[in-house]
Amino acid sequence: METLFALLVGLLVAAGVFLLLSRTIVRVVLGLSFITYGGNLATLTVAGLREDAPPLLTLPGPYVDPLPQALILTAIVIGFATTALLLTVALRAYQVAGHDDVAAFGDNLARDTEAEDGMIADPEHQGPDQPDVEEPRTLVYTARGRE
Amino acid sequence: MTLAVLLPFLLAGLAAWLGPRLGRRTGYVAALAFVPALLLAVPLSGMPGTPPALEVTRWVPTLDLALAFRGDGFSLLFALLIGVIGALASLYSVAYLSERERFGRFYAYLLLFGGSMLGLVLSDNLVALFGFWEMTSVTSFLLIGLWHTRSAARDGAVKAFLVSVIGGLALLAAVALIGIAGGSTSLSGLDVDALRASPLFTPALLLTLLAAFTKSAQLPFHLWLPTAMEAPTPVSAFLHSATMVKAGVVLVAKFGLLFGSSALWSGIIVPVGLATLVWGSWLALRQTDLKALLAYSTVSQLGLLMSLYGLADAEGRFAATAHLLNHAAFKAALFFVVGIVDHETGTRELPMLGGLRRVLPLTFAAALLAALSMAGLPPLGGFISKELFYEGMLHHGPLFLAVAVLGSALTFAYSFRLLRVFWGPLRHPEDARPHEAPPGLTVPAGLLALTALVFGLLPGTAEALTRTAQGALNFAEYGGHLQLWHGVTPALLATLLTWGLGGLLVWQAGRVGDLQRRLTPRTNANTVYYALVDGTNIVASRLIARTQGLALPDQLRIMLVAAGLITGYGVWRAPQVFHAIGTPPLALLPTAALLVAGAVGVLLARSRLTAVVVTGLTGFGSAAAFLGLRAPDLALTQLLVEAVTVILFLLAFRFLPGSRDLPRTRWRYGLDVGLAASAGVGATLLVLASVRFLAPPISPYYLENSYRLGGGKNVVNVILVDFRGFDTLGEITVVGMVALAVLGLVRLGQRGRTPTSAEEEE
């Protein structure tokens, strides 16, 4: 039984990875979902699959291991949140970029290694720590007594 | 002592709160913080007779870290010095800063620094000493960068910080080595013989020296001190003349008792100190900015102190301690004077100023006393300690003395160059109307200048103060005295020679200037520093552009290959356990089929609708699998989540294009197939390898205690909400944050424009 599920996990992960590497943004999101499915099943399988009762104390024992189940329950919810967030980001990215080709997103800095310091995205703005306008000295020479 | 260190920290918070409310008057509160440090004069007056007091507050016993403050004579003397200069600088800044300064920030930083510095000199615990050492670096960074809107201030702050922190790391290593070799983290409790016999002795010595040289601006680390002059002048007087820069000197003085037995110690410190003395004063003579002149002069004086302490004999330590006091007095006074000149005329440029003694008589008096002390003229304190310096160098060889005389002659010359702003016809920028500064500025300067005078006229006072440190620094057996007239000694002859040379330099100032311009090398420490920093930036950005700047799929491929190699190695090393597939229960076969169909189907799906439906099928398949594997809760959650996910996808698909796969290049396609296949195989093998219990599972605990402790019969639920309640809380937080993010992104999207264009239209 474990071997069967191990094979299933492998299949799900393989499909997920292949999707993750595709250029279409939707497929990237779907790929992550598939990897999540594989991961959840893997966690359960690793703990051993036995034909015991579910961990509900109202039923007569012996019970299966409750701990991986608790872990997976958390993982399912987090996985859902991740998918939702990614999907929304994908949506925004598509709206901003006007296309859904992941490979063409971003600055692709590698194309511009010969820039002045290789990383100025906006030549007008030096960086977050550099004010755009050099303010005058804030040290004001007080001329108290002769104002 | 503990109070003296902690009160500035406590009052720093108060000052931050009071700053916006009290304005400049916060300075008086700041000065109060140094009162306990001033009160340390009481135990100091009992030195060197009484044994040092030790106050220990346990902090982290497992690390041997305690707030141990040991009041030996030298530490108390230095703490008193910090207290005096700190209080004066606080009072001075009240009158100095402009109304629009952010007082809360300034005084909070200043007090944090004061507390750190006091902790540094009093700490007997090596680990705490390192902590205070780093805190002085950080607070110095904040104070230099106080006017952070100016690029020069930012640059100076970063430079000072980088250089000091290199030394700080060295000190951490040194402290660790000393602690290991000496068998204690307490400076007074070290086993000195074991340390000297240890193989760690030399590395610890070298690292200590690196720390001291960076902090005290010795060659080639002197570059940060002049740029640190971007700080407000009271800060420069306090940190960059009298206290923080002397931290390295203090380190050399205290650790000299441990390392002084080694020839390496003196062999490095004395040449470096003397070189710094000469080069610093040579550079000081070139400056036109008064503060830069003082900064280089501080560099050179620190070199002098270093070389004296580095002699590692009683005479040198005696002379150095005497000069430490003198230097603090005259240098802080001069900084205050320069602050007054800057305040009244609006410039610090030497060529633009002259004849100021007519409008600033009191300031001129203070400047004269302090500058003459710096030049080493009688009857001022600087003269006496310079004599001692010559004595000490003479005992170690005429060459040392020659270098010392050269450095001192240059010192003589720049002291008089500094005074040029007071002589001659009155000259100042046209828009300034200089008049004598308010007492808030002149009194601190005057007090310190008078101290310099008293140290000279009544050498007994300076000697008494110096002698308090004799127990701590082991120069009790040295019988020398501080006095103006020692009779005709070689040192006196050297002094006369110094004055002659110095007078010559002053007399031929123009020619000397030309000579200096010709002789100045193109490369100096600063150009090297900038080359390093810029080079690092360029290398880093190119590296990032080549490695991190790829398109997302390529980035993922690199990550997956790396992950595959690492986990692949783990899987390969793990013994595999192949269970027979056996006879899986028939009920699970449809589930398995569903999962397989989903995985294959999604790869083949052409339209987005098919893709999402197939994904949904896989989700329901995994829910069914959970049900079959005796996990009803998981099945329920999975079903719910799957339904919502499908709805979410369908909503999103109103705005998203199809999920047709864009073509990949042939080798990328091959790579992807390979990666996906190896990921699948790897996952399978990983699962199989893990189906072994290396240790008994901890789950029975939950089964047994679920009802007894958690009061629930559904063990999974009890684990989630009772045993692991905080995990679940964190999880809920994550989901909440995601909900907010999704909401924000969606609302951005509803405008159907990029936010930038939206802003332009608004």
Q: Region B147-168: what's the mean pLDDT?
A: 89
Measured in angstroms, the CA of B346 and the nearest CA of chain A are apart by 7
Q: Which phi and psi angles does B368 have, rounded to 5°? A: -60, -50
> CB neighbours of B37 closer than 8 A, spacing ≥ 6?
B4, B79, B80, B82, B83, B86, B114, B118
Measured in angstroms, the CA of A17 and the nearest CA of chain B are apart by 5
Name the DSSP class of B706: I
> Are the Cβ atoms of B688 and A6 closer than 8 angstroms?
yes
| Mean of the per-residue pLDDT values of chain A | 74
pTM for the model stands at: 0.72
Q: Give the confidence band of A145 by pLDDT, cuts at 50, 70, 90.
A: very low
Q: Give the confidence band of A77 by pLDDT, cuts at 50, 70, 90.
A: very high
Residue identified by tokens 């051993």 is A48
pLDDT value of residue B208: 93
Q: Give the confidence band of B751 by pLDDT, cuts at 50, 70, 90.
A: low
A83 touches B618 (CB < 8 A): no
pLDDT at B591 over 50: yes
What are the pLDDT digits (tens) for B25-66? 888 989 999 999 998 888 888 877 788 888 888 888 887 788
pLDDT value of residue B688: 83
What are the pLDDT digits (tens) for B271-281? 999 999 999 99
Question: How many residues make up chain A in this entry?
Answer: 147
* Closest CB to A146 among B433, B631, B679: B433
B692 touching A, CB under 8 A? Answer: no
pLDDT at B758 over 90: no
* Closest CB to A138 among B100, B618, B728: B100
Decide which of A106 and B512 is more confident. B512
B687 to chain A: which residues are within 8 Å by CB? Answer: 2, 5-6, 9-10, 42, 45-46
pLDDT at B608 over 80: no
- B residues 574-633 closer than 8 Å to A (CB): 578-582, 584-585, 588, 592, 595-596, 599-600, 602-603, 608, 611-612, 615, 618-619, 622, 625-626, 629-633
What are the pLDDT digits (tens) for B366-418? 999 999 999 988 888 888 888 889 988 888 888 889 999 999 999 999 999 88
What are the pLDDT digits (tens) for B456-505? 888 888 888 888 888 788 887 777 778 777 777 888 888 889 999 999 88
Q: Region A101-105: what's the mean pLDDT?
A: 75
Question: What gap in Å lies between CA B38 and CA B79, rounded to an integer?
Answer: 8
- B residues 223-282 closer than 8 Å to A (CB): 232
B698 to chain A: which residues are within 8 Å by CB? Answer: 67
* Size of the A and B interface in Cβ pairs below 8 Å: 350
Question: What gap in Å lies between CA B389 and CA B391, rounded to an integer?
Answer: 5
Question: What gap in Å lies between CA B250 and CA B75, rounded to an integer?
Answer: 9
Name the DSSP class of B238: I
Give the residue on A whose Cα is nearest the Cα of B232: A139
B550 to chain A: which residues are within 8 Å by CB? Answer: 108, 110
Q: Give the confidence band of A75 by pLDDT, cuts at 50, 70, 90.
A: very high
B679 touches A13 (CB < 8 A): yes
Farthest-apart Cα atoms in chain A, separation: 94
What is the three-class DSSP state of B738? helix
- Compute chain A's Rg from CA coordinates: 27
What are the pLDDT digits (tens) for B259-315? 888 889 989 999 999 999 999 999 888 888 899 999 999 999 999 999 999 888 888
Beta partners for residue B427, in sequence order:
B354
Q: Give the confidence band of A108 by pLDDT, cuts at 50, 70, 90.
A: very low
pLDDT at A112 over 50: no
CA–centroid distance for B629 within its chain? 56
Q: Which of A33, A10, A45, A27 is nearest to B618 (CA)?
A: A33
- B residues 635-674 closer than 8 Å to A (CB): 637-638, 641, 644-645, 648-649, 652, 655-664, 672-673
pLDDT value of residue B439: 87
> 3-class secondary structure for B196-236?
HHCCCHHHHHHHHHHHHHHHCCCCCCCCHHHHHHHCCHHHH
pLDDT value of residue B365: 92
Question: What gap in Å lies between CA B704 and CA B554, rounded to an integer?
Answer: 50
> Are the Cβ atoms of A7 and B619 closer than 8 angstroms?
no
B413 exposure class (CB count in 10 Å sphere: 0-12, 13-18, 19+)? buried
Measured in angstroms, the CA of B360 and the nearest CA of chain A are apart by 15
B726 touching A, CB under 8 A? Answer: no
Question: What gap in Å lies between CA B308 and CA B158, rounded to an integer?
Answer: 30
| Mean of the per-residue pLDDT values of chain B | 86
Q: Give the confidence band of B332 by pLDDT, cuts at 50, 70, 90.
A: very high
Measured in angstroms, the CA of A110 and the nearest CA of chain B are apart by 5
Question: What gap in Å lies between CA B447 and CA B553, rounded to an integer?
Answer: 70
What is the three-class DSSP state of B49? coil
pLDDT value of residue B460: 86
Give the residue on A whose Cα is nearest the Cα of B720: A70
* Closest CB to B749 among A20, A30, A92: A92
pLDDT at A76 over 90: yes
What are the pLDDT digits (tens) for B622-641? 999 999 888 899 999 999 99
> Are the Cβ atoms of B683 and A10 closer than 8 angstroms?
yes
CA–centroid distance for B221 within its chain? 15
pLDDT value of residue B302: 93
Farthest-apart Cα atoms in chain B, separation: 113
B145 touches B153 (CB < 8 A): yes
> Are the Cβ atoms of A2 and B676 closer than 8 angstroms?
no
Joined tokens for residue B274: 């003397």
pLDDT value of residue B658: 62
pLDDT at A136 over 80: no
Measured in angstroms, the CA of A125 and the nearest CA of chain B are apart by 15
Joined tokens for residue B608: 């987005």
Q: Region A113-119: what's the mean pLDDT?
A: 41
Residue identified by tokens 């005084």 is B107
Among residues of chain B, what percentage have pLDDT more than 90? Answer: 32
- B residues 729-758 closer than 8 Å to A (CB): 731, 734-735, 738, 741-742, 745-746, 748-749, 752, 754
What is the three-class DSSP state of A63? strand
B754 to chain A: which residues are within 8 Å by CB? Answer: 95-96
pLDDT at B671 over 60: yes
pLDDT value of residue B525: 80
